[in-house]
Chains A and B, each alone.
Chain A
Amino acid sequence: MGDPAGIVLAAAHVSKEFAGVQVLFSVDFDLRKGEVHALMGENGAGKSTLVKILSGFEQPSSGQVLLDGQPVTLPPNGLAEAMGICIIHQEFNLAEDLTVTESMFLGREITRFGILDRKAMRAATRKALNQLGAKVDENAVIRTLPVAARQMVEIAKAISRDARVVIMDEPTAVLTKAETEVLFQQIRRLKAEGTSFIFVSHKLDEVIALSDRVTILRDGQWIKTAATSDLTGEKIAQLMVGRELSSLFPQKREPDVDEEVVLEVRDLSTAFVKNASFRLRRGEIMGFAGLIGSGRTELMEAVIGLRPRQHGQVLANGVALPAGDLGAGMAAGMAYLTKDRKGRGLLLNNGMTTNLTLQSLSQHSRHGYLVPASEAKAMERARRRFDIRARDPRIVVGRMSGGNQQKLLLAKVMEREPRIILIDEPTRGIDVGTKQQIYNFISALAADGAAVIVVSSEMPEVIGLCTKVAVMREGRIVGQLEGDDITEHEIMRYAAGLKTAA
């Protein structure tokens, strides 16, 4: 791999496991002085974990991190900045109530005789922002800034620290084309001065435009490292996804073409989602694929009525639903299963039964009071139907395993026997065995005549379950695939913006 003296930062046979789940398998990675090295892979491929290990936020379970060829243990919590390694996180890391200048110099304030030298700090901030061509006021409070401006501040912060290595995790996700171009110019300038960049992105065109080398990860494994000039967007997409679909999924069943449409969404827009239209037939499982932040959850929440919509129509069984009225959506036989199991799905400090019946209490009340025996019966039914296992039936839900929580959440949503079910990330953070149970259940629901939407960031899931797939990108449905066209390759091309339907 070239001259070892030119390698600034490297990972050698790095593995990482979280609570018994291995997410990185002996990965090698090296970063040369003055290069932009792109790190690519699907969601869950291990990019973020590798980046965290290279910046000290996580320690590897085995393997080594090498700085200038020497094995090092990087200090945690961003202290690696002192060693010249800066990371710009996907989630912002700015204290909201500080001004731009204050946050730029947080923890390394310039002082004169022990007193803050505000003037010097403001001037330095202005200079850093000007270099980036950012028209952000150095005295503005972070909270008042739009997301793109905050991103610019983050980038200016990293650059102003004279970092040797800058790690950027999806830096352009919130930037406009013009802003991205300015950022790239700065990256090229700093690169020429010898700064090295690790660039994590899903956007193939940006990676090709900016990077010198690309490393591709898949399912926590190192797949390939190559010079960008030797690769094409198509080739990268192929390397990212090339994986066999296992027998994890039940047989697909395509609904009849003339089967009735039970859910129709026409031209729906919210603050972020633009002009989404799709139709869902009885007995159909439809997938929604796309990158994180592409607007899938927002669309589903607007469809069911958890979010206001700006315009557009939602028709359930031919009847138009009022906007922003969850009660009406549910009354029309719809249900939504949130991807945020712990924050929005379940009451973690309560027992299983309380959670199960929370949105179907009317089924268990007689003359206005609740009948515990009826609730207990429902719990027993759900336990058998969904194979919910708990060592103690009175356990609080927060102490159950992720898989059992997910089954309980599914049971809760199914208590009202909905016929149009929107499932957001059906198998996030659960083991393979439980995944298979959930896939079988979804398939059985459809076979029974229910209509199901599966929103998932795990592509095999969408491909293995669905007979129709909509791909979203930046708030829009950019393509709909059916039958044999549903491949990882096709989905990735739409999701990454290489292809758009007419």
Chain B
Amino acid sequence: MAIEDTTPRRSLLGDMDLRAVAPFVALALLLLLGAVANPNFISLANLENVATRSAFIAIIAVGATFVISSGDLDLSVGSMLAFTASLMIMFLNAAPIADPFLLLLAAMVLAVLIGMACGLANGLITTLGKIEPFIATLGTMGIYRGLTTWLSQGGAITLESREIQDLYRPAYFGSILGVPAPIAVTVLLSLAAAFVLYRTSYGRHVVAVGSNREVARYSSIKVDRVRTAAFVIQGLCVAIAVLLYVPRLGSTSATTGMMWELQAITAVVVGGTALKGGYGRVWGSVCGALILELVGNIMLLSNFISEYLIGALQGAIIIIAMLVQRSLARRV
């Protein structure tokens, strides 16, 4: 390396935070495994496909990284996505604005506002109501899901206008500089999120609050405000996922986003963020989402294991990830 460094260098391994590196090592091993299992696996088209499909969970997981780092938990993200997407489609169908472009823009702004409002509700119920986040968001999960079912009357809510569909399609199926739009959005969002978490006072406060609320309070950090803001960031991320979800299918139903909360939490934990708070890895969460998707992909392409076992394997992954995380944490 040509970099001049005045401080004496330690051995490379000793200098790295193993917890931060572990998920990426796991990802590399999976890629290797996939390549051995099926030669088609390592093709650019397949990998691009995997990355695109993992984008929804990755984007939600980026938001979940904030909530979990601050010591909370949000179980409502899957229903929140279904609820926000339903309202957005209904707004587009009602078409209160004549100009299709302006209508779409307004719908997108609306979706972002609804997502953030849902997050704010979660945050306020948890902090002002002093209710365990597990219970508070279990409640809102039911509420958002129930409202979606009610809005769709048990059926589907579908984007009707052909014109809007065509206008909006590229948001999911298009590409920016040759990169599929969902991947580009995930990367840009993660860059922004990593900056906020690692390089701003707010990010530092999130970690402090997640580590020890009393220490944070005695350091004049407004603990409830920090926690609530993390829930709002989660809502914003869900809304961004909605902005990609609606052009993809143009339809929602009562089962949209079902169990996504568990996948998002799995991605975050697999990515190295501590579930008890105080330590967050944005890129680790993205990596975790990729790992989940890759496992499914490898199972489809290979013949070792039945693809019906995907759920079981994902469940096993989260347990293994926790065990690895704990054994690494002990050494740090």
Contact = CB atoms under 8 A, between A and B. Distances in A.
Instruction: Decide whether A and B assemble into one complex.
Output: yes
Give the residue among B199, B212, B218, B221 with the most A Cβ atoms within 10 A: B218
Interface in A342-377: 343-350, 354, 357-359, 361-362, 365, 368-370
Contact of B211 (A306, A326, A349): A349
Contacts of B80: none
A347 B208 contact: yes
Contact of A361 (B204, B215, B218, B279): B204
A358 B200 contact: no
Given A306-B217, A326-B220, A344-B214, A349 B199 contact: no
Find the residue from A338, A358, A365 having the highest chain B CB count within 10 A.
Answer: A358
Interface in B178-232: 195, 199-201, 204-205, 207-208, 211-212, 214-222
A342 to B, nearest CB: 9
B278 A361 contact: no
B332 interface: yes
A134 interface: no
Interface string A23-42: 00000000000000000000
B1 to A, nearest CB: 20
A336 interface: yes
A328 B278 CA distance: 27
B275 to A, nearest CB: 14
A239 interface: no
A338 B218 contact: yes
Given A330-B220, A369-B195, A349 B204 contact: no
Interface in B278-332: 278-279, 332
A354 B216 CA distance: 12
Nearest to B212: A347
Contact of A369 (B200, B211, B332): B200
A350 B211 contact: yes
A343 B214 CA distance: 7
Contact of B201 (A306, A340, A348, A361): A361
B218 A306 contact: yes
Contacts of B201: 361-362, 365, 368, 370
Which of B195, B211, B214: most chain A Cβ within 10 A? B211
Nearest to A337: B218
B220 A327 contact: yes
Contacts, number: 66
Tell me whether chain B's interface is mostly helix, strand or loop, or mixed.
helix
A80 interface: no
Contact of A350 (B200, B207, B218): B207
A478 interface: no
Residue from the set A343, A344, A348, A368 with the largest chain B CB neighbour count within 10 Å: A344
Contact of B278 (A347, A358, A412): A347
A293 B101 CA distance: 68
Interface string A415-438: 000000000000000000000000
B212 A370 contact: no
Nearest to B218: A344
Given A326-B220, A347-B278, A349-B278, A365 B200 contact: yes
Contact of A349 (B214, B217, B279): B279
A345 B278 CA distance: 15
Contacts of B215: 343-347, 358
B219 A359 contact: yes
A346 B211 CA distance: 10
Interface-central residue, A338, A359, A362, A396, by most chain B CB under 10 Å: A359
Given A326-B220, A396-B332, A347 B211 contact: yes
Interface string A129-169: 00000000000000000000000000000000000000000
Contacts of B278: 347, 349-350
A52 to B, nearest CB: 27
B245 to A, nearest CB: 31
B202 to A, nearest CB: 9
A358 B204 contact: yes
A362 B211 CA distance: 20
B328 to A, nearest CB: 13
Nearest to A327: B220
A354 B219 CA distance: 12
A359 B220 contact: yes
A354 B204 CA distance: 8
Contacts of A326: 217, 220
A345 B205 CA distance: 15
Nearest to B332: A396
B11 to A, nearest CB: 14
A365 to B, nearest CB: 6
A216 B207 CA distance: 48
B200 A336 contact: no
A352 to B, nearest CB: 14
Contacts of B208: 347, 350, 354, 358
Contacts of A368: 200-201
Contacts of A327: 220, 222
Contacts of B205: 361
A370 B200 contact: yes
A369 B199 contact: yes
B194 to A, nearest CB: 12
A368 B207 CA distance: 17
| Chain A CB within 10 Å, residue with most, of B195, B204, B279 | B204
A358 B214 contact: no
A393 to B, nearest CB: 10
Given A350-B278, A361-B204, A370-B204, 19 more contacts: A306-B217, A326-B220, A327-B222, A330-B220, A343-B212, A343-B214, A343-B215, A344-B214, A345-B215, A345-B218, A347-B211, A347-B215, A347-B278, A349-B279, A350-B208, A354-B207, A354-B208, A357-B204, A369-B200
Interface of B: 195, 199-201, 204-205, 207-208, 211-212, 214-222, 278-279, 332
10 contacts: A306-B218, A326-B217, A340-B214, A343-B212, A347-B278, A349-B279, A350-B208, A354-B207, A359-B221, A369-B199
Closest 4 CB pairs of A and B: A359-B219, A361-B201, A347-B211, A344-B218
